């Protein structure tokens, strides 16, 4: 008799908006926040069908991804589940053999790169934030200088507001840049970045 606790992996057909579809294709988006209305299990396949907003019909484009982890997010988003995904091997090979799909990321490497990205790009979700671009560039350079010269303990250290690095990462983790979006967390993180930037010393020229 087959145990009710185990079953063979199954495939879930799911619609996905074009911008998120592109992000999955490029490997930027590695998680799906979905209503917990199915029996999702690790090892199951998500058959993601690119579907324009406001349409019931897919474009015909699709990608398959395997669920690698499942996180219960019901405490802060009741009725939803976060699925970590990995594109199937054939999809990864096809992606490497083809031209990359354009996706506004550019901020998933270092904090200085993230600060420059904030200075140069509109936010992909959650409205626009107008940061002081020159100040962001200054902070990015100061962080790089601190990393390049860790032994000069008695030299005057550039001042980076406490919590700014963590706040920038929280913003990038929640505004869609890294594949996940939460309106509430994005708003709170953006407000925190703006507060810290306003409090930071400005370069006098």
In the prediction, which pLDDT does 127 show?
43
Which of helix, strand or coil describes residue 12? strand
> Which pTM value belongs to this model?
0.44
* Cβ–Cβ < 8 Å for 179, 16: no
What pLDDT score does 30 carry? 84
* pLDDT the model gives residue 7: 84
- Please state, in angstroms and rounded to a whole number, the distance separating the CA atoms of residues 162 and 21: 36
Q: Average pLDDT over the chain, rounded to whole? A: 69
Instruction: Judge contact between 112 and 140, C-beta under 8 A.
Output: yes
pLDDT at 148: 57
pLDDT in tens, 42-83: 999 999 999 998 888 888 888 899 998 888 777 777 888 888
The pLDDT assigned to 92 comes to 44
Beta strand residue intervals within 21-75, DSSP E: 31-35, 45-50, 62-72
Ordered structural domains, the chain, with CATH: 11-97 (2.30.130.30), 111-199 (no CATH)
What pLDDT score was predicted for residue 98? Answer: 46
Q: What is the mean pLDDT of each run of 10 residues along the chain (205 residues)?
A: 70 90 81 88 92 87 89 80 78 44 43 67 49 65 60 49 69 60 69 70 51
Other C-beta atoms closer than 10 Å to the C-beta of 131 total 15
The confidence score (pLDDT) of residue 31 equals: 85
State the Cα–Cα distance between residues 32 and 46, nearest whole angstrom.
Answer: 10
Contacts of residue 152, Cβ cutoff 8 Å, sequence gap at least 6: none
Closest CA to 82 of 17, 31, 14: 31
CA atoms of 69 and 85, how far apart (whole Å):
7
């Amino acid at each position: 008799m087959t145990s009710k606790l185990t079953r063979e992996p199954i495939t879930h057909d799911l619609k996905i908006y074009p911008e998120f579809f592109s992000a999955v294709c490029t490997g930027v988006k590695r998680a799906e926040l979905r209503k917990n209305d199915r029996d999702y299990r690790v090892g199951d396949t998500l058959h993601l069908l690119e579907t324009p907003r406001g349409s019931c019909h897919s474009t015909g484009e699709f990608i398959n991804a395997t669920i690698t982890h499942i996180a219960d997010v019901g405490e802060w988003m009741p009725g939803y589940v976060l699925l970590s995904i990995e594109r199937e091997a054939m999809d990864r090979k096809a992606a490497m053999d083809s031209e990359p799909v354009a996706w506004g990321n550019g901020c998933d490497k270092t904090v200085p790169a993230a600060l420059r990205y904030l200075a140069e790009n509109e936010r992909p979700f959650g409205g626009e934030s107008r940061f002081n671009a020159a100040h962001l560039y200054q902070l990015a350079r100061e962080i790089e200088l601190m990393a390049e010269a860790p032994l000069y303990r008695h030299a005057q250290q550039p001042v980076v507001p406490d919590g700014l690095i963590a706040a920038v990462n929280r913003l990038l983790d929640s505004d869609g840049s890294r594949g996940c979006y939460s309106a509430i967390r994005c708003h709170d993180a953006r407000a925190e970045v703006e507060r810290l930037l306003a409090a930071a010393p400005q370069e006098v020229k």
